[in-house]
């Protein structure tokens, strides 16, 4: 315990995955120094009143794409406004590029421009020619690698041979493989079929990428991963059909971890019909019954994380749907949307929200308890959320470079009002008060997944 505190957050309801307690949080040298029912205010250089507010660990968003309209700096700004304090970015290694120089470039750009601490996943587009570089990435602190099982027409798809080879190499290094799970060749055929029939593209977009083919790819990927002894992470699970293979994996004790995103638990195909190319994301938005099933999957532990899949791309409503890129801005609205729908809507508890958005993401990638929780010795990363603040989501009030949001006009109750990292305020009452270049690069560590550690 430090007698002197740099910052004291007093009077709030402190929420962790273990429960809720009214407590004061004292910080010193960037760490949580003390949590107690009452801490003397005169011990602190600054006192922040959180009376009637929630004090949460900062969100750990493990699914961010800082390569579009928000770069590593811009992504950190819009993230901080949304209560995110730690990001894991996908560092895409395109065909013809080498893995190590690409990872080093992302790391260095982040250190120069990011407001927030960050880690990296390697995103591989040409496993056949990039696989030999993968072991060296572990020495840089990059232990997770993503490939696409879809987008064959874009030449992004990794076939089963090279997916299995990647799992083999990554397992030897005690890492984690991540897959965008859709059946790429079948979905390409369906796209061609509907194009030939002249069907309106937005109306058939979800049918082109059916939930059963997402579930099929998850089943195939987890089977390959089990054979190769490699833990598997499945991002952006979008449909009820995908929960059956995930539940089976869980029952069998396989190391398979499912993530969903705010858009898949709060938006539907109706959003695609209304917003056209702006709502073109992959996998597609699905049906209200899928929303409900995914909430249940979060509540019962089938799905273990919520992440943003923040991919703000340049597009307009009037663009050609098929030519428009996949992706949407999500990171700034994520906590607000999940809080409003999940807590106000009675879908999950506050401790479970913290578990899936902060604690489990940090644990999976070896960042816990430095990140993802509020306990003595942890980094003083926190967000103060006002559960009574009513507001309307709009692109005009967002800080992404995208210029649109899929939640335009949605009324919500609950909003982050202060974001702090390592004891330093980043955003307070709508004002950015920190400067870029303060970020720490966070080496990940997934070796614990091979020891049977609980997540």
Helix 211-228 × helix 243-252 angle, to 10° = 20
Is 76 inside a domain boundary? yes
* pLDDT value of residue 130: 98
**pTM of the predicted model as reported, rounded to 2 decimal places:** 0.97
Alpha helices, DSSP H, located in 276-422: 288-300, 334-338, 350-354, 360-364
CATH of the domain at 117: 3.20.20.140
φ, ψ of residue 303 to 5 degrees: the values are -100, 135
**399 phi, psi to nearest 5 deg:** -120, 10
Tally the domains of the chain. 1
Q: Is-contact 234 178, C-beta < 8 A? A: yes
444 in a structural domain: no
Task: Specify the pLDDT at position 188.
Answer: 95
DSSP-assigned letters across all residues of 335-358: HHHHIIIIIITTSS-HHHHHIIII
| CA diameter of the chain | 73
For residue 419, give the nearest of 404, 408, 407, 434 by alpha carbon: 434
d(CA 421, CA 425): 6
The answer as to whether 198 is a domain residue is: yes
- Domain contains 201: yes
Reported residue count of the chain is: 455
Question: Is 410 a domain residue?
Answer: no
DSSP tag of 310: B
> What's the count of helices (H) and strands (E) in the chain, helices before strands?
15, 17
Q: What share of the chain is helix, strand, coil (3-state, %, to 5)?
A: 35, 25, 35
Whether residue 398 is contained in a domain is answered as no
Nearest partner of 187 among 152, 220, 238, judged by Cα: 152
Domain around 212: 58-375
Q: Assess if residue 4 is contained within a domain.
A: no
DSSP 159: P
Alpha-carbon distances, residue 128 vs 73, 93, 146, 221, 274 (angstroms) = 32, 12, 14, 18, 40
Which of the residues in the chain have pLDDT under 70? 1-2, 452-455
Strand, helix or coil at 363? helix
Rg over alpha carbons for the chain, rounded to the nearest Å, is: 21
pLDDT digits (tens, 9 = 90+) for 234-276: 999 999 999 999 999 999 999 999 999 999 999 999 999 999 9
Sole residue written with tokens 């493989």 = 177
The closest alpha carbon to 373, from 357, 389, 384, belongs to: 357
Q: Has residue 298 been placed in a domain? A: yes
């Amino acid at each position: 315990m430090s007698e002197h505190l740099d910052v004291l957050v007093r009077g709030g309801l402190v929420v962790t995955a273990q429960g809720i307690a009214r407590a004061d949080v004292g910080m010193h040298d960037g760490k949580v120094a003390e949590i107690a029912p009452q801490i003397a205010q005169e011990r602190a250089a600054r006192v922040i009143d959180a009376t009637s507010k929630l004090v949460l660990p900062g969100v750990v968003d493990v699914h961010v794409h800082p390569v579009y309209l928000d770069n590593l700096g811009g992504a950190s700004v819009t993230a901080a406004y949304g209560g995110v304090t730690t990001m894991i970015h996908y560092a895409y290694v395109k065909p013809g590029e080498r893995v190590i120089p690409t990872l080093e470039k992302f790391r260095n750009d982040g250190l120069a421009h990011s407001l927030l601490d960050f880690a990296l996943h390697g995103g591989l587009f040409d496993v056949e020619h990039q696989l030999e570089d993968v072991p060296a990435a572990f020495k840089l602190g990059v232990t997770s690698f993503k490939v696409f099982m879809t987008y064959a027409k874009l030449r992004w798809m990794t076939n089963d041979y090279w997916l299995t080879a990647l799992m083999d190499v990554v397992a030897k290094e005690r890492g984690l493989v991540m897959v965008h799970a859709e059946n790429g060749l079948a979905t390409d055929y369906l796209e061609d079929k509907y194009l030939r029939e002249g069907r309106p593209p937005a109306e058939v977009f979800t049918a082109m990428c059916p939930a059963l083919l997402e579930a099929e790819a998850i089943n195939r990927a987890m089977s390959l991963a089990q054979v190769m002894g490699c833990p598997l992470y499945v991002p952006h699970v979008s449909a009820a059909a995908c929960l059956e293979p995930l539940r089976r994996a869980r029952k069998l004790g396989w190391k398979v971890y499912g993530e969903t995103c705010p858009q898949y638990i709060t938006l539907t195909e109706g959003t695609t019909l209304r917003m056209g190319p702006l709502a073109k994301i992959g996998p597609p938005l699905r049906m209200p019954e899928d929303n409900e099933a995914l909430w249940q999957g979060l509540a019962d532990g089938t799905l273990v994380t919520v992440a943003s899949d923040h991919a703000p791309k340049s597009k307009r409503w009037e663009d050609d749907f098929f030519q428009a890129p996949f992706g949407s801005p999500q990171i700034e609205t994520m906590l607000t949307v999940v809080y409003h729908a999940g807590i106000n809507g009675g879908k999950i508890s506050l401790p479970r929200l913290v578990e899936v958005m902060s604690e489990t993401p940090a644990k999976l990638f070896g960042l816990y308890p430095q990140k993802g929780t509020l306990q003595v010795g942890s980094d003083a990363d926190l967000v103060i959320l006002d559960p009574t603040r009513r507001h309307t989501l709009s692109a005009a009030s967002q800080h992404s470079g995208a210029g649109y949001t899929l939640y335009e006009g949605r009324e919500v109750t609950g909003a982050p009002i202060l974001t702090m990292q390592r004891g330093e305020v980043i955003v307070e009452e709508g004002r950015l008060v920190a400067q870029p270049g303060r970020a720490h690069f966070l080496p990940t560590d997934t070796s614990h997944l091979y020891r049977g550690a609980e997540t």
